[in-house]
Structure 1
């Protein structure tokens, strides 16, 4: 019996037009370009316009991925969308995007795994294809995180941006995704979280009802570096590969120092690492697919190359995918 793989046949991305540089932030936040760059590697971020939603960015990224794949929206039989900033509580943003694309009738749902959301969604989609239940799947990672920042909190507001990325997965007899590894540990939730919601209630005595990102940066950094080290080893073992066989590392774009630490653990030079954190900042679930689309469209990533995708986010969640592009 022929083994079924899921293979990426198209990528796409979307960014808001507005660009907010570190110099712009200096005008209304107690910070500096030098302070931000030295600690994060970030130089600018994109910020959604008033009325511009996660669904808007997702739809545009999806349309570009479908065009690149040469696939019609009507051919898609599953949509999985990773986000922690949905347009509305329900229906899911995936359902809203489905309707806009004209892919009505297929299964569509959101995955909330914070910054690991896209890789989680990719892992889910891969299983649907391998099981034979789906043939063509649209996987999206998208966020409008700037709606969740408080600009007076200088240590966190400088970190985040908005954007979306998407891929089209297709069933194939040729190797595509070799392995995905998904993990979580809710015991760390208070190090990176938003402690309000429908069930626990909102905070009427706080701006925006308390809906904003709360993060203990140093503690997150420590756990992320250690956890990603172990994740890299696990993923290589699951795919029966050696680090030397990797052509590219495409990591979550949260912090340049974390990216550099992961590359060092793999023994990979930074020339083999896709870095977009300087241009996009941390776009959470949008981060990895944005970086992937940039790498593909810039000509860096080529067909037949082995890519390691990895992410770490609130939850904590962490996830990886090793694939041949």
Structure 2
């Protein structure tokens, strides 16, 4: 008879860049760019041939998103009105890549918190929205850097990559194919953001997270039992990025904005909120969990308004900061890492028996739910 394996979350890790950009700094840079653009195109604007750009404001950003600051790997070039994008030097092939470097830092913290040695890990999944290169896989480089003897691969489900990675890792554990799996999400999202677009220039930040998923028989105490996971995807063009190896357009050019992050924000809000809420409630019912009694929701950190509505539909009342903590204000949208940051920073205070939900949602559309229970 095959042994009965139970996946748990043993620990998490977080790498945060040292540099942060406040809304005031970002608005100052953006508005300087707007002034330059409008001055350089004054005649064409007057003739109706070119549309004048509109300035941004701190109030506009905070009302639209709830974001107040974001961490980045390359601050000065982003704030330079003549550049307005990160400048991260390419490394030689025999040097460790930057995504692997920050992913390893988060992974090592997760291993340390679990009291686990890298030699104990069987697999590494690099689950992130934007990979630095197609191959060799970022996950294999992280595996090499950590000294793990096993297997590794990359996966991309945009903002839901981490939760999809957690279910994949949990499935490996359930099947007995691995006892310990690292899900690493290095998100350098500043590289795919159009810092010249008023409607989106404030959204993203950089970070790396790691989640150690293991069989309960080897997990440390305390840990988090994975009660159930549920994934869902529905195709939509409302969040898109067309940059890839089949095109050579400069992603920083205003003539090719589709090669960077683009979205129809209002449509996303209208369509994603009910889809996410319904999936959470359906899965809670299947698991015989009373959603109103969930101790905490660690939701995807994309938009404060979306989280507020989703939490209200799940819990049945307006959630406070304790029930649905926010890291969006200081980290910005960090794609797949957002819900993991919220969990990492706001879970140690829960008691044995408390149940909660890690949930992400984003481009695809994609939704991932991970119901967990604190185990003493």
Give the TM bin, normalised by the shorter chain: over 0.9
Paired residue for 1:320? 369
> Aligned pair 1:252/2:300, yes or no?
yes
Deviation readout 1:153-196 (Å, 9 max, x if unpaired): 0211101111111111110169811111111122x1x2111113
Paired residue for 2:346? 295
Paired residue for 2:51? none
Distance 1:85 1:151, change over 3 A: same
* Secondary structure of the structure 2 residue equivalent to 1:207: coil
> Rg bigger for which structure?
2
Deviation readout 1:12-40 (Å, 9 max, x if unpaired): 10111110010111111132111111111
TM (normalized to structure 1)? Answer: 0.92
Mapped to 2, the partners of 1:184 and 1:100 lie a distance apart of 33
The 8 Å contact of residues 65 and 166 in structure 1, kept in 2 or not, is answered as yes
Paired residue for 2:110? 65
> Aligned pair 1:307/2:356, yes or no?
yes
> Aligned pair 1:126/2:177, yes or no?
no
Paired residue for 2:25? 24
Paired residue for 1:275? 326
Mapped to 2, the partners of 1:279 and 1:205 lie a distance apart of 27
Unaligned runs of 5+ in 2: 31-54, 75-87, 90-96
The 8 Å contact of residues 251 and 260 in structure 2, kept in 1 or not, is answered as no
> Aligned pair 1:38/2:63, yes or no?
yes
Deviation readout 1:103-151 (Å, 9 max, x if unpaired): 1x31111110000000000010010001111101111222101111121
* Secondary structure of the structure 1 residue equivalent to 2:107: helix
Paired residue for 1:84? 129
The 8 Å contact of residues 5 and 130 in structure 1, kept in 2 or not, is answered as yes
- Superposed, 1:144-183 pairs within 5 Å as 144-172=188-216, 176-183=225-232
Mapped to 1, the partners of 2:266 and 2:231 lie a distance apart of 23
Q: Please identify, of 62-71 and 78-87, the stretch whose mean Cα deviation from structure 2 is larger.
A: 78-87
Paired residue for 1:193? 240
Deviation at 1:302, TM superposition (A): 4.4
Mapped to 1, the partners of 2:324 and 2:127 lie a distance apart of 23
> Aligned pair 1:110/2:159, yes or no?
no
* Secondary structure of the structure 1 residue equivalent to 2:60: helix
Mapped to 2, the partners of 1:63 and 1:274 lie a distance apart of 25
The 8 Å contact of residues 79 and 109 in structure 1, kept in 2 or not, is answered as yes
The 8 Å contact of residues 54 and 85 in structure 1, kept in 2 or not, is answered as no
The 8 Å contact of residues 141 and 287 in structure 1, kept in 2 or not, is answered as no
Aligned-residue Cα RMSD (Å) equals 2.0
TM (normalized to structure 2)? Answer: 0.80
